[in-house]
């Protein structure tokens, strides 16, 4: 295919993907005077034309027919739980929903925006110092960057997005009403918390009664009109309940479209090309430098785009997949533990506790993507793990995100799956129930990884990515512990019925859980154990940078987007202030 590619005029920077990371880097690098081109495999999407309030709340179109997401008939992956099994293609989207199109996952996220704990960034050294040596099969690593280094960039992303919340730790001083377990922050959130609806206040009261310290969860849903540092205006949330899997037609959920695009897309030194699928990254004859990319456009033409710098800004799976297809870095081998590309795939482990009342009306249709109250006593290493048989943790929260009629059917345990009794149970419990969710970390393991499938290929004739993943005893023990703590709080609500739903058995790729996929091109301090350095620069090609959750060495117990934003700003600063002045490795191997 390479011989057929038509060569285009060069650019300074080519961005592969145009979601959150592509938009941030486009803005930052054009400000630095570079000519930047973004290649997006999906189509154009804009708030006024694609998410107008007259049709944005179309549950059938977006929730069930996946209008914003990857088409498995064109691009998917194969899956197995263990290396001894044969992987088969994921022919229907299920456990996670990779986005496609301008804005990426930044369009369809709920807006639950967290900072990781300081201990999360030193997960291996911290846990081994406190609890002793980890299992040889647990391939947990320190990140190579610290919370204190990232704090200014967390702040920058929060102010870009207008995050609504309440600080719990200002410059080391614990502040009442916020999260007392968070890392120290220099200033409060840019916006106050969302106005709380009834269900989370019941959780808050029960959490306090059981000795916890609840707080309003940080939200990228606007609690008031907001103008961000780029001068882009966002409007207050209307609590419509259509956030996750939907675009926001009210300009009140932070996304690339509502925070960056109005400024970036007007710049003369920025160009966006949509429906352009990048096939591989090109290298020079010595294999030490990226020279550009090859992509196929909407008309099926194969084109070569030369560039001085290549930045991978695609979804978590796609960045390591593209590195494998481009023969960048040594692929991970779980038998020897050697190699880095594909290493340390991780996910999230979630469970829930449903709570049913007779006399309390929740009105679940009044919701927002990050409208909730949480507790953090059981996240990271905020509690003593001695004798528990696991490391890691997660937050507990009561969210009221939606009461959408096709998706939301709260019914007690042992209710029939269909028929008259099921309908009666839905009618009885729709308004009078709530759920407490647990959101747990997944520690990396030597047998959880990504590689190329030997059998199946995509629409372009390339090997599909193969995902090998299962929960380990560490995850099951941790999740059971979180579920028990959530049940304790639920029982304090004195409801009619409490139904705990622990996560059991093997990981199942069919039912939706989260789109919090991580790893495969992890960051670190050693090229023998990581794909990129602390500035997200490839150890192998100094002018290749990799963004997004693929760089996470393991997945902490929070939603990942806040850290994606912080790391992107961190890398952009290093590119602008260090790399452009002296192109080459920013960290010596």
238 exposure class (CB count in 10 Å sphere: 0-12, 13-18, 19+): middle
- Looking at the chain, how many residues does it have? 589
Q: 204-235 burial by CB neighbour count: b if 16+ within 10 A, else e? A: bebbeeeebbbbbbbbbbbbbebebeeebebe
Helix axes 561-574, 147-161, angle to 10 degrees: 110
457 exposure class (CB count in 10 Å sphere: 0-12, 13-18, 19+): exposed
DSSP letter (8 states) at residue 329: S
User: Which H/E stretch holds residue 494?
Assistant: none
Nearest to 501, CA basis, from 367, 411, 372, 571: 411
**Could you give the CA distance from residue 34 to residue 23 in angstroms, rounded to a whole number?**
14
Rounded to 5°, the CA angle 10-16-19 comes to 130
Nearest to 494, CA basis, from 374, 356, 351: 356
**Could you give the CA distance from residue 34 to residue 156 in angstroms, rounded to a whole number?**
21
Q: Which of 317, 445, 516, 542 is catalytic?
A: 516
**Could you give the CA distance from residue 382 to residue 379 in angstroms, rounded to a whole number?**
6
Q: Is 92 an annotated catalytic residue?
A: no
The 3-class SS string of 15-54 reads: EECCCHHHHHHHHHHHHCCCCEEEEECCCCCCHHHHCCCC
Q: Are 98 and 546 in contact (CB under 8 A)?
A: no
Q: Are 102 and 443 in contact (CB under 8 A)?
A: no
**Could you give the CA distance from residue 9 to residue 298 in angstroms, rounded to a whole number?**
19
Nearest to 108, CA basis, from 409, 435, 400, 369: 369
170 exposure class (CB count in 10 Å sphere: 0-12, 13-18, 19+): middle
**Could you give the CA distance from residue 326 to residue 320 in angstroms, rounded to a whole number?**
10
Which phi and psi (to 5°) does residue 506 adopt?
-70, 155
Nearest to 295, CA basis, from 102, 14, 11, 546: 14
Helix ranges, 226-317 (H): 256-259, 261-264
- Residue 583's SS3 state is coil
54 exposure class (CB count in 10 Å sphere: 0-12, 13-18, 19+): exposed
Nearest to 163, CA basis, from 222, 81, 115, 116: 222
Q: Where are the beta strands (DSSP E) in 284-432?
A: 290-296, 302-312, 349-356, 372-375, 394-399
Strands 11-16, 36-40: pairing is parallel
- Catalytic residues, by residue number, are 516
């Amino acid at each position: 295919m390479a011989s057929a590619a038509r060569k285009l005029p060069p650019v300074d920077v080519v961005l592969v993907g145009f979601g959150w990371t592509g938009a941030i880097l486009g803005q930052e690098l054009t400000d630095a005077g570079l000519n930047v081109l973004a290649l997006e495999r999906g189509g154009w999407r804009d708030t006024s034309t694609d998410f107008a309030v007259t049709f944005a709340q179309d549950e059938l179109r977006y929730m069930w027919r996946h209008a914003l997401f990857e088409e498995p008939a064109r691009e998917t992956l194969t899956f197995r739980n263990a290396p001894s099994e044969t992987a088969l293609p994921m022919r229907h989207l299920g456990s996670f929903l990779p986005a496609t199109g301008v804005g990426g996952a930044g369009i369809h996220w709920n807006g639950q925006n967290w900072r990781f704990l300081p201990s999360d960034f030193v997960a291996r050294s911290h846990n081994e110092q406190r609890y002793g040596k980890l299992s040889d099969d647990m391939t947990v690593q320190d990140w190579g960057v610290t919370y204190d280094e990232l704090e200014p960039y967390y702040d920058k992303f929060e102010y870009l997005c207008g995050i609504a919340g309440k600080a719990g730790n200002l410059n080391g001083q614990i502040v009442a009403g916020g999260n007392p377990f968070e890392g120290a922050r220099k200033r409060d959130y840019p916006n106050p918390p969302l106005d709380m609806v009834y269900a989370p206040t019941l959780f808050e009261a029960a959490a306090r009664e059981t000795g916890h310290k609840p707080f309003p969860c940080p939200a990228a849903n606007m609690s008031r009109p907001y103008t961000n540092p780029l001068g882009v205006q966002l409007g207050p949330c209307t609590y419509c309940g259509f956030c996750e899997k939907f675009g926001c037609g009210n300009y009140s959920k932070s996304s690339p479209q509502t925070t960056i695009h109005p400024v970036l897309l007007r710049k003369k030194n920025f160009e966006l090309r949509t429906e352009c699928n990048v096939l591989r990254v090109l290298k020079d004859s010595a294999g030490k430098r990226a020279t550009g990319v090859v992509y196929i456009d909407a008309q099926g033409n194969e084109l070569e785009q030369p560039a001085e710098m290549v930045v991978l800004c695609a979804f978590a799976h796609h960045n390591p997949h593209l590195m494998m297809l481009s023969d960048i870095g040594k692929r991970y081998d779980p038998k020897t533990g050697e190699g880095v590309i594909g290493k340390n795939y991780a996910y999230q482990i979630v469970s829930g506790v449903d709570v049913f009342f007779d006399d309390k009306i929740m009105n679940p249709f009044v919701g927002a993507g990050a409208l909730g109250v949480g507790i953090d006593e059981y996240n990271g290493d905020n509690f003593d793990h001695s004798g528990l048989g696991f490391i890691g943790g997660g937050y507990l929260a009561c969210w009221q995100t939606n009461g959408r009629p096709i998706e939301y059917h709260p019914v007690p345990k042992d209710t029939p799956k269909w028929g008259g009794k099921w309908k009666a149970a839905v009618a009885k419990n729709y308004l009078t129930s709530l759920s407490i969710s647990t959101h747990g970390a997944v520690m990396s393991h030597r047998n959880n990884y990504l590689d190329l499938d030997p059998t199946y290929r995509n629409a372009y004739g390339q090997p599909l990515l193969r995902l090998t993943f299962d929960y380990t005893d560490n995850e099951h023990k941790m999740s059971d512990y979180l579920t028990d703590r959530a049940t304790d709080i639920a029982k304090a609500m004195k409801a009619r019925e409490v139904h705990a739903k622990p996560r059991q058995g093997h990981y199942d790729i069919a039912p939706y859980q989260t789109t919090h996929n991580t790893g495969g091109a992890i960051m670190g301090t050693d090229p023998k154990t990581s794909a990129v350095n602390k500035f997200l620069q490839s150890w192998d090609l100094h002018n290749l940078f990799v963004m997004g959750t693929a760089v996470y060495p393991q997945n902490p117990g929070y939603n990942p987007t806040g850290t994606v934003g912080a790391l992107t700003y961190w890398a952009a600063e290093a590119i602008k202030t260090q790399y452009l002045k002296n192109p080459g490795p920013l960290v010596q191997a």
